[in-house]
């Protein structure tokens, strides 16, 4: 998209996968019964509690979300969001809404569409945890006079973490490398101190 647009807006969407609609959508897939049953079994029967100081809350059943770091997490979201379509064909949508400059003025319309789709699929779009980053085409950086205004309720960032890798608004991973080096230095100093 950057080859034909001065910039591309990427909105990282945060919503929670609820188990019931996921199971409904899994039923529509052509998969063996034993795979479906294994997935249902995997998601059911889990609970959580909170501990603060010496106080422990009561256990509550988990009916939404996916265990952090599980291989089923991204696949579950893809299955849940498979019927979500963009309003304008120039945009792309998966876990991120990708909006090129040519239709940038429609980004709030698209977010409203996603917000309407979410409850119908038993999801909740969490705008306070959603973020925007704008990638600018290398040649356009000198000639671009104005970027779009921030989206109300969504924080605009200079870098974003995608699958554990930090990518900045210039499409480089230099921030990620800097963070890794800093972590290694701290770890090495800690190890020397411990020895």
pLDDT in tens, 109-133: 888 888 888 777 777 777 777 888 8
Across residues 79-83, what is the average pLDDT?
Answer: 73
Rg (CA), the chain: 21
pLDDT in tens, 7-18: 888 888 766 667
Of 18-22, 68-72, 140-144, 165-169, the range with the lowest mean pLDDT is 68-72
Look up residue 181 and give its two tokens: 């080096």
What's the burial of 91, exposed, middle or buried (CB within 10 Å: 0-12/13-18/19+)?
buried
* C-alpha closest to that of 63 among 44, 91, 81: 44
Q: What band does 53 get if pLDDT is binned at 50, 70 and 90?
A: confident
The whole-number pLDDT of residue 115 equals 81
pLDDT of 69 above 60: no
The whole-number pLDDT of residue 150 equals 83
The whole-number pLDDT of residue 66 equals 62
The whole-number pLDDT of residue 29 equals 85
Across residues 19-34, what is the average pLDDT?
Answer: 83
Residues 6+ apart with CB under 8 A from 102: 4, 5, 90
Proportion of the chain above pLDDT 70, given as a percent: 85
Look up residue 12 and give its two tokens: 């990282």
The whole-number pLDDT of residue 143 equals 79
């Amino acid at each position: 998209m950057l080859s034909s647009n001065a910039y591309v807006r990427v909105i990282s969407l945060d919503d929670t996968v609820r188990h019931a609609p996921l199971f409904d959508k899994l039923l529509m897939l052509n998969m063996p019964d034993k795979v479906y049953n294994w997935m249902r079994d995997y998601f059911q029967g889990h609970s959580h509690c909170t501990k603060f100081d010496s106080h422990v809350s009561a256990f509550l059943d988990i009916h939404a979300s996916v265990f952090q770091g599980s291989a089923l997490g991204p696949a579950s979201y893809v299955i849940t969001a498979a019927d979500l379509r963009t309003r304008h064909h120039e945009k792309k949508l998966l876990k991120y809404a990708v909006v090129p400059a040519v239709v940038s003025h429609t980004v709030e319309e698209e977010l409203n569409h996603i917000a309407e789709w979410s409850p119908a699929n038993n999801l909740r779009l969490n705008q306070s945890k959603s973020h925007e980053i704008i990638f600018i085409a290398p040649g356009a950086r000198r000639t671009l006079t104005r970027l779009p205004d921030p989206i109300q309720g969504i924080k605009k960032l200079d870098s974003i973490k995608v699958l554990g890798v930090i990518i900045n608004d210039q499409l480089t991973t230099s921030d990620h490398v800097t963070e890794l080096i800093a972590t290694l230095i701290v770890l090495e100093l800690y190890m020397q101190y411990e020895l």
